[in-house]
Amino acid sequence: MAGEELIELKFRLADGTDIGPSSYSPGTTVGFLKERIIGQWPKDKENCPKTINDVKLINAGKILDNNRTLAESRLPVGELAAGIITMHVVVRPPISEKSSEKFQDDFPKKSSRCSCSIL
């Protein structure tokens, strides 16, 4: 794809640190970007995502879909002449089986009898 203008992106983590900047083709998928983020995740961070579904990429207030390309995501590239676009990275915390069981145990059990008192 000769003559194609590359897009400069950096990824801002929740603690304010950045991954990048790096250049990407407009045909690059969001899923590929997430794979790169996971691969370049700082080793000293505790909340490292395991899969691309654990990561949300946000640009201009929109959560980007994994199967869409940068061009399809309508990034405001034309508005930034030779600028670096910062995308925010949100990591969904992993849900362990123990915590999901505890969450279910917190709900009261359904009962077939009424416990109302009318005075």
What digits encode the pLDDT tens for the residues 38-82? 999 988 877 788 888 999 999 888 899 999 998 888 655 445 556
> Which helix (H) or strand (E) element contains residue 37?
helix 30-39
Q: Please tell me the least confidently modeled range out of 8-12, 83-87, 108-112.
A: 108-112
Give the pLDDT confidence score for residue 10 in this predicted structure: 93
- The ranges assigned to domains in the chain are 7-92
Share of the chain above pLDDT 90, in %: 34
Mean pLDDT of the chain: 78
One-letter amino acid identity for 41?
W
- Which positions ≥6 away from 28 have C-beta within 8 Å? 7, 69, 70
Which comes out higher in pLDDT, residue 98 or 13? Answer: 13
**Rounded CA gap, 93 and 61, in Å?**
21
pTM over 0.85: no
DSSP result, 47-107:
---SSGGGEEEEETTEEPPTTSBTTTTT--TTTSTTPEEEEEEEEPPP--HHHHHHHHHHS
**Rounded CA gap, 34 and 70, in Å?**
12
CATH number of 7-92: 3.10.20.90
Peptide bond into 21 cis (omega under 30): yes
Q: Is 84's pLDDT higher than 90? A: no
Q: Is 106's pLDDT higher than 60? A: no
